[in-house]
Amino acid sequence: MDQRIRIVPAEWRHINTVANRLRDIDRRECEAMGRSGKDALRHGVVTSDKAWTALVDGRPEAVFGVVVESLIDRVGTPWFLGTDEVYRHGKALLMWGPGILARMGDSSLRLCNLVSADNRRAIRLLERWGFTVAKEHVVVRGVPFRHFERIG
């Protein structure tokens, strides 16, 4: 495991640091959903059952979590917004994934959301983490997205 990366509970103070350096593709995804990067991060942290921050050398580089959509059906919406720096640690992300997904699965058996069809790195990561990513596109405010899902 990359010793430079730590996963900690998300804090309000992490939001600006990540929002100010958000990857362009993440910013475009947020805008297509009607939010700025900062607003999307705030909304995610406030509405998530669980939210974390990835620190690289002590600096917040990504914030992510899961919003529980239905407790009865155990459906959750995972989200992940980060800087270019966090994606420079792809091996660590792959290794952290199973543990994070297990925590998300505590409250949500079925995890699903949309990812920009142009967000190749995120799509590759999702597939490596065991998500099924649809081939078909759903267009939101002119931006093509792909649905992704993982059960269990």
The answer to whether 85 and 61 are in contact (CB under 8 A) is yes
The answer to whether 113 and 77 are in contact (CB under 8 A) is yes
Reading the block at residue 21, the tokens are 């350096």
Which CATH superfamily, name and number, covers 5-151?
Gcn5-related N-acetyltransferase (GNAT) (3.40.630.30)
Per-10-residue mean pLDDT for the chain, 152 residues long?
A: 82 97 96 97 95 94 93 90 88 80 80 96 92 97 97 86
- Rounded to two decimals, what is the model's pTM? 0.91
